[in-house]
């Protein structure tokens, strides 16, 4: 069992399998060169051995992220191996959805449990503005294919003032119509994002939805970052609000980067390198690095907008 110094049981690890992405989203990596390559990626068979140790130590949920994880052509074999090792571990994946039409059935057959798809707009030109890619038709087709093969889907939307804040309700209704669960994510300031961006906070998002719907909060049944709300028509949505004081109280997550660094918190610069241990297959050293990262997990993140303390580590590096 992995328990940090504040009594939180760590049961969830997010792993970035690559820093590479085919999008250049304004809130993540807008200025990253188009020819950027993740030359330090750890082979997935080596990552698998680390995750086996993590599962043995009490990890119950693994989320695969990037960058864009579907750029790894060996990803389905990796998922199959994880599923074979632990039939009970929850396996999820976060993607921008661009390649989803091609891979949805393969992911389902490999043993993936669920998907999160990042989608900030239903307008084609607007998605071009946000991601610098003509991607909306691909993403929508991918969503329908994933739905067809039976993968449960959550949609992640980052509402930005003057960019897509007029689609808060449109996105909610799109998800309700398609059986997806929408999660609004407050924009997380970081030094790699477009500095002119301003996000909507939880209060502002709820105010927009309340203009049309009556809603009520749902008491948390499980540990997780999202606050859930129910509409009078039975629809459900969530908000992830990392700027709130209570966001970190129940955090049960650590993160592994594609190059083998274990980050105890998205908004916390200190980290533990497990790279050499993973590459060499040193079981004792991998276990020590895992336990040290849990021990180092801070009580709360270091985000402070008033003091201009933002994440200096890129989200495509840590896995968002």
Per-chain mean pLDDT for the chain: 91
Question: By the 8 A CB rule, do 50 and 152 touch?
Answer: no
Q: What pLDDT is stored for residue 193 in this prediction?
A: 84
On whether 24 is known to bind a ligand per the annotation, the reply is no
CATH of segment(s) 12-318: 3.20.20.70
Does 94 carry a binding-site annotation? yes
**pLDDT band per the 50, 70, 90 thresholds, residue 307:** very low
Please tell me whether 118 is known to bind a ligand. yes
Determine whether the annotation assigns residue 27 to a binding site: yes
As to burial, measured by CB atoms within 10 angstroms (0-12 exposed, 13-18 middle, 19+ buried), residue 210 is exposed
User: Is 263 assigned a ligand-binding role in the annotation?
Assistant: no
Give dist(CA 191, CA 314) in Å, integer: 7
Lowest mean pLDDT of 160-174, 212-226, 253-267, name the range.
Answer: 212-226
For residues 273 and 288, the answer to whether their CB atoms sit within 8 Å is: no
175 is known to lie in a ligand binding site? no
pLDDT for the residue numbered 37? 82
63 is in an annotated binding site: yes
pLDDT score of 159? 97
In this predicted structure, what is the pLDDT of residue 194? Answer: 86
* Residue 25 assigned ligand-binding role: yes
Residues in Cβ contact with 201 at an 8 Å cutoff, skipping those fewer than 6 apart: 186, 241, 243
State the pLDDT at residue 309: 47
Determine if residue 255 is labeled as part of a ligand binding site.
Answer: yes
What the block records as the tokens of 65 is: 């992220």
Q: What is the pLDDT of residue 300?
A: 74
**Would the annotation count 67 as a binding residue?**
yes
| 265 assigned to a ligand binding site | yes
61 known member of a binding site: no
Predicted confidence at residue 35, as pLDDT, reads 83
- If you average pLDDT over residues 203-224, what whole number do you get? 89
**Is the pTM value of this prediction over 0.85?**
yes
What's the pLDDT score for residue 34? 83
Over the stretch 86-142, which tens digit does the pLDDT of each residue have?
999 999 999 999 999 999 999 999 999 999 999 999 999 999 999 999 999 999 999
The mean-pLDDT minimum among 81-95, 240-254, 306-320 falls in: 306-320
Q: pLDDT tens-digit profile of 148-189? A: 999 999 999 999 999 999 999 999 999 999 999 999 999 887
Q: What share of the chain is helix, strand, coil (3-state, %, to 5)?
A: 35, 20, 45
Residue 204 pLDDT exceeds 90: yes
When mean pLDDT is compared across 197-211, 238-252, 297-311, the lowest value belongs to 297-311
């Amino acid at each position: 069992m992995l328990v940090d110094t504040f009594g939180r049981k760590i049961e969830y690890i997010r792993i970035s399998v690559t820093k590479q992405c085919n999008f250049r989203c304004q809130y993540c990596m807008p200025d990253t060169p188009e020819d950027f390559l993740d030359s330090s990626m750890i082979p997935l068979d080596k990552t698998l051995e680390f995750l086996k140790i993590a599962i043995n130590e009490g990890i119950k949920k693994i989320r695969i992220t990037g960058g864009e994880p579907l750029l790894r052509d060996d990803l389905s074999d990796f998922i199959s191996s994880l599923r074979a090792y632990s039939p009970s571990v929850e396996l999820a994946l976060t993607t921008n959805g661009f390649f989803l039409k091609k891979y949805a059935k393969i992911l389902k057959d490999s043993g993936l449990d669920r998907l999160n798809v990042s989608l900030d707009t239903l307008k084609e030109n607007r998605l071009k503005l946000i991601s610098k890619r003509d991607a909306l038709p691909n993403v929508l087709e991918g969503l329908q294919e994933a739905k067809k093969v039976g993968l449960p889907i959550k949609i992640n939307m980052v509402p930005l003032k003057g960019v897509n804040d007029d689609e808060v309700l449109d996105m909610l209704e799109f998800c309700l119509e398609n059986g997806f669960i929408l999660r609004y994510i407050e924009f997380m300031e970081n030094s790699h994002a477009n500095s002119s961006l301003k996000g909507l906070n939880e209060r502002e998002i709820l105010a927009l939805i309340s203009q049309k719907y009556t809603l009520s909060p749902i008491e948390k049944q499980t540990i997780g970052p999202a606050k859930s709300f129910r509409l009078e028509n039975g629809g459900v949505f969530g908000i992830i609000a990392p700027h709130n004081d209570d966001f970190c109280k129940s955090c049960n997550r650590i993160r592994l980067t594609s190059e083998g660094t274990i980050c105890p918190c998205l908004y916390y610069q200190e980290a533990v390198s497990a790279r050499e241990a993973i590459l060499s297959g040193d079981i004792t050293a991998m276990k020590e690095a895992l336990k040290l990262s849990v021990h180092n997990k801070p009580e709360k993140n270091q985000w402070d907008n008033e003091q201009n303390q933002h994440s200096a580590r890129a989200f495509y590096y840590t896995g968002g």
